[in-house]
Structure 1
């Protein structure tokens, strides 16, 4: 069982909260303007196994390429669970490898990859990236840093309970 989502990242500064003494305004560097790239991430909350790639856009063509890469790595058939983004089309899936299941609309709390991305974004707070490559490198380092924690971050009780029934 794999859950999937995409994270848009780039040169725009991710703002966050800061503690400052009473009466002082927090100061943080900010970059205006935006070049972006998408991190496509698919992971299994039960085993921590995952697939990731930086792609230039979120569209059907990029998603299809990503799905083809995931399917070549799979040994057995699996569920692929994702939100209802227009790029996520069921016809991209080889029926003998992945079965696509769409999450209900407006329910990001059901997708554990969203929780993983929340942790990744913490690493990006108040950082200024002058190039897209710097932003990509920081996201990659954050994902690698959190790789050992995928199960503890994403194995929601409803997922563990469902897997125990089968």
Structure 2
């Protein structure tokens, strides 16, 4: 395996019935209106991306409690293709439950989306589903699921979006015989 090949970046995105108005193109002078949904139901999508290979993992997450997060990330930690995590220092990632996830962890500063390529991926997901009104949270999930599956089936596209130069350079510079205790 190539150096850094099994390092993944991860995060979670809130998906809810509180809609967002998205920018749209329109001829000059034409008033554009969009329906905006206001609801207070949420679910989360957990995503892990390997920027070198373009491999993507995702799962629906019911809440942001440590127990639920550790359940998903713990399953992924058993994947042979995952050697370690990079994620932000949000409270959910640094809590007691997440410390039980058996994989080396690198914690980046919280609220620094420019350091996490998964945030760029979330922008693409939002572009696919926002700006429309959904009758239920399940309908919004159903709209997002094929988008997630399409990205998962296209590692080259994920690599192009998330394989930033500084990440590739850093991971490829790691020694191949690194052992984490």
Could you tell me how far 1:78 is from its partner in structure 2?
A: 1.1
Structure 2, unaligned stretches of length 5 or more?
1-6, 175-181
Number of aligned residue pairs: give it: 162
Question: What's the CA shift for 1:67?
Answer: 1.6
Counterpart in the other structure of 2:158: 150
Task: Please state whether the residue corresponding to 2:104 is helix, strand or coil.
Answer: strand
Aligned to 1:134: 139
In the alignment, the residues of structure 2 paired with residue 53 and residue 123 of structure 1 have an alpha-carbon distance, to the nearest angstrom, of 17
TM-score (norm 2): 0.83
Deviations 1:96-125 (A, max 9, x none): xx1011012332101000001111111013
The alpha-carbon deviation at position 76 of structure 1 amounts to 5.9
Which consecutive residues of structure 1, in runs of 5 or more, have no partner in the other structure?
Answer: none
Matched, 1:3 2:44: no
1:57 to 55, 63, 70: 63
Q: How does 1:1-166 map to 2 (within 5 A)?
A: 1-72=7-78, 74-75=79-80, 78-89=83-94, 91-94=99-102, 98-147=103-152, 148=154, 149-166=157-174
More moved, 113-122 vs 10-19 = 10-19
State the distance in 1 between where 2:64 and 2:16 align.
Answer: 14
The alignment yields a C-alpha RMSD, in angstroms, of 1.6
Counterparts of 2:43 and 2:130, CA distance in 1 = 17
Moved over 3 A (4+): none
Tell me if structure 2 keeps the 8 A contact 1:93–1:100. no
Contact 2:76–2:82 (Cα < 8 Å) also in 1: no
Equivalent-residue separation in structure 1 for 2:107 and 2:171 (angstroms) = 18
Q: Distance in 1 between matches of 2:17 and 2:51?
A: 29
The normalised TM-score by structure 1 is 0.90
